[in-house]
Structure 1
Amino acid sequence: MLDMQQAMAQQTTPHPPRMVPDKTFSVTAGTTFTYDSNVFRLSPLVNPIALTGQPRRADQIIITSATLGFNKRYSMQRFEVTGTLVDNRYMNFDFLDFLGKNYNAAWHWYVTPYLHGRLTSRHSEALNNFANLSGFLNGTNRNLRTLDNYHFDGVLELNRAWHLIGGLDHSIMKNSRLTIQDFNNKVTSVEGGIRYVSSSGGSLTYRVRSGRGEFINRPAPLPEFLFDTRFDEMEHDLRMHWPVTVKTSIEGRIGYLDRKHAHFSQRDFAGFVGDLNISWMPTSKVQVMGGWSRQLSNYQTAPFAFQHSIFERFSSSYIATNRFSIAPTWQITEKTALRVRYDYVLSDFHGAVVPLPTESRSDQMHSGLVALDWRPLNTLYLSAAFHRDHRSSNHRGFGFDSTAGSVSATLNF
């Protein structure tokens, strides 16, 4: 599930450095001030004093960041490295303060023009999304999520049209506090497939991925809660990129994901996943992007996990999320742009393992964003944004409303 906290992080954190091909080093520094009316995504039915010890729901947040970037080509090889420190300060709920350390590194390797690929490494640290934690014992705690990913992929061009692809991937996800919904885990995957590239620049790719996952720090299964030690994933997908015209392009993916657990088949899930994204430029100053996506993800619950009697209990093993979005951008002048985005998200919780008298939980989220960007100088970027979220649920206590406004300034060198 994506809500305002993630969207605001994407839209209002200091703007990333503008990578200039001939510029080896870059430095970016920025700050963002945000007012958030409902930090913990609490339902109107909930008295915040009972959960946070304070009568207020709102907070003012100052995010300051500094990024160093390196981008260099050596013969056929290209290297990219960025490192970022992000300092997050909360005025009221200061126990949420943290310093995030993030980096991205990539080696775009070439053996020959027909055999090439990437070797990447990523590390990120951020607060867990409170919208995903609402109703649970950890719903108002400082819970940092750390993600590490190591990825290798390669392409062998048999000829101009047909390419063989393959890759290895290793991901590690950890939380600073226990989460019931998505436990600490690591997944190692191998993938392969074939790609067809047309003369017009379009492509069609078939890929198969096999992954082995392990729940970290759980040496034995917990049968009383049906919590397992490991799982296997198999995913098939077909991807398409189609430049319809000079002004319109379509990207899409349809796949089937099957996840099986080692000891408790009650936690297994499978189903169709995919996405479709359309980009259209009706004029040189207007771009409209629209999309749909469907994903299946782990979301395991247990009877002891709920925080307060106001929250109606439910049981689930996974969540199916469907998202519909539209995002027009108007380049008013060379230096000024207006962005608007609307998302509708439908989240259904499946795989109940505890019999309850209530039906399965289902949430609906409406999210809207309006942002004005201004770049008066090549080195200076300013932005102001307003964001509104409304979530309703068929289960008591999980709906909420939140409003946020932010201003940010970024310097790029």
Structure 2
Amino acid sequence: MLDIAEELNRWVEQGRDFAVATVVAVGGSAPRRPGAALAVDADGTAIGSVSGGCVEGAVYELCRQALEDGEAVLERFGYSDDDAFAVGLTCGGIIDILVTPVRVGDPVRPVIAAGLKAAAAGEAAALARIVSGPTHLVGRALLVRADGSYDNGSHDGGCHGSGSRGGGSYDSGSYRGGFGAHPELDRTVAAEAGAFLDAGRTGTLEIGEQGSRCGAPLTVLVESSVPAPRMIVFGAIDFASALVRVGKFLDYHVTVCDARPVFATRARFPEADEIAVEWPHRYLERTEVDARTVLCVLTHDAKFDVPLLQLALRLPVAYVGAMGSRRTHLDRNDRLREVGVTELELARLRSPIGLDLGARTPEETALSIAAEIVAARRGGSGVPLTGAHTPIHHDVTSAPAGRIGSVA
């Protein structure tokens, strides 16, 4: 649901009633991942998608029904060998979809509204919703913020829980919100959701009603909204210009860094989010990176590359790639060894950068680099799918839940 937060936040601000269908779990070759959503307002306007088109019509009707009767429903859709014309996924996968009414006056609306507002503003937040378990708990929600605090999204004062993921304090005297069940459930879900948020991950977790393995089992969907991951492109060359455009297409926050002010200009890189005129290694020393950051070194000049890669290969980032011929690559590796870079650190370096697409133009080269970044992120092999016996999607994080039917 947080993937369409900007539009839904506008609906909330306009006071619209709507229902939202969210992918909870997937199996097989399903087209959308957990968290993908389709929403329908009271006038019948629809935004988003849960299947790329296979079951949108049926899900649309479920949303209209939820708006009428105010009941949530967890529904399973899958391909049927018995009836190829039945509502299902022609790709052969299975998806479980939670449909939730979000009407003015519904108890869940304040917390969902708070989650949508945070996501639309680009803040890091995780929205945890109970999707299966005891009837009186299904559909309840908890918003967890980046600092570990959590609340029920009420309009009268914000954070009611102050439990931190590291085992911080819990103000039982002022606490009124969350799932409205055992206090330990809120603390445990907040801690688990915090871990999902740290990884920028969306998926489900299984937990007991009392926050441990005690009590009736619950399935909780955790949707994470995090700022866009960073792509830092070193070297203000024509290949960098193409890579910036591809990086933006993949929803990265893109920075171009080059020590030469005549090349690192807004006119040459109008789509970049940031342009840094600075020696690459000095910029990398002072800027913030994380486990989702990708570093693309396109300078292929030893005076820039060696100090930059010496630092980059020791940072906990997702990807480090460097441009250059195979001769440049071998010479660069020797220079890196001379300054103390270990073989284990060198093994992290993607060089020559990109997949073998036979690329020649800047645009083709950018596509090659982007393809390698996606393959590294998703665990892909980079080989053609034709004739391969590998999964098409590599990032399945949870198995589908069983069909629940109508829930209160």
Same fold (TM over 0.5): no
Larger radius of gyration: 2
The structure with more strand, counted as a fraction of residues: 1
Shorter-chain TM-score category?
A: under 0.3
The structure with more helix, counted as a fraction of residues: 2
- TM-score (ref. length: structure 1): 0.21
- TM-score (ref. length: structure 2): 0.22
